[in-house]
Amino acid sequence: MISEDNMDDAKIAIFAYNFEHKKTQDMIIRLLIDGHNIECVISADARELNIPSSMVRTKLKHGNLIHPQTLCHRFGIPYINIQHDDPRIPTIINDYKVNLGIIAGARIIRKFVIDSFSIGIINYHPGMIPEVRGLDSILWSIVNNIPLGVTAHLIDESIDGGRILIRKNIPIFHDDTIFDLSERIYDLQFEIVSESVCLAKEKRYMDIDIAQPINCKMTPEQEYNALSLLKNYVAHNSFK
């Protein structure tokens, strides 16, 4: 059980995208509902990524999203539009007396930004770290027969590294599609937000074994192969 007093010490800055983005929207709403103090939202403009587009879709397409600036205006949260590697961020963190960062949308965050937070920065990874680090977590989990779930971790400068706060699996049912699995993983990220904030404040974590390999973006052939294995994966891992 997490008391309100325990949550109040966490002064949170959310790293977000400066455009309509479901995880950004839902993270702001969830933190507010759970009674956390959002001191500011640091939103970065979109950047073109040098990553090939996926040939198969694993996520639902959502519409009618609320821009994070609109949400922040409605709830009186300072909204700062700045890239997440901007050298002014430590000053912003100091000015707003923030001690914990939460990633709702960001690229790689540099060490000087991470070091600005006395508690750290929490990321919610849609896979079981350290077994599944990097991209295409759901598909690599299926290929390698690794349980599907979410890892909340305090990041460091490595990819999906740092310190583990929570690892939690999703249930799998016999009639699940790739979209069912994806949405259940997405929902689980928000279920463990308050618990992960509490654990981070209390410094209850364990180091990540970075000797585990980092998964790269799947090729189209690898994506199709992963989907071809889905039915068998679900049959072997679902509740009987």
Predicted pLDDT of residue 2 = 42
How many Cα atoms are found within 13 Å in the side-chain-facing hemisphere of 129? 30
Q: Write the burial class of residue 127 (CB in 10 Å: 0-12 exposed, 13-18 middle, 19+ buried).
A: buried
Query: Do residues 160 and 154 lie in contact, with contact meaning Cβ atoms separated by under 8 Å?
Result: no
Q: What is the CATH T-level fold of the domain 4-237, as seen in this structure?
A: Rossmann fold (3.40.50)
Q: Write the burial class of residue 117 (CB in 10 Å: 0-12 exposed, 13-18 middle, 19+ buried).
A: buried
Q: What is the average pLDDT score of the chain?
A: 93
Domain boundaries, the chain: 4-237
pLDDT band at 39 (very low <50, low <70, confident <90, very high): very high
**pTM for the predicted model, two decimal places:** 0.93
Helical (H) or strand (E) element with 154: strand 149-154
**Residue predicted with more confidence, 50 or 160:** 160
Of the given ranges (13-17, 54-58, 128-132), which has the lowest mean pLDDT? 54-58
DSSP 58-99: -SPPP-SPPPHHHHHHHHT--EEE--TT-TTHHHHHHHTT--
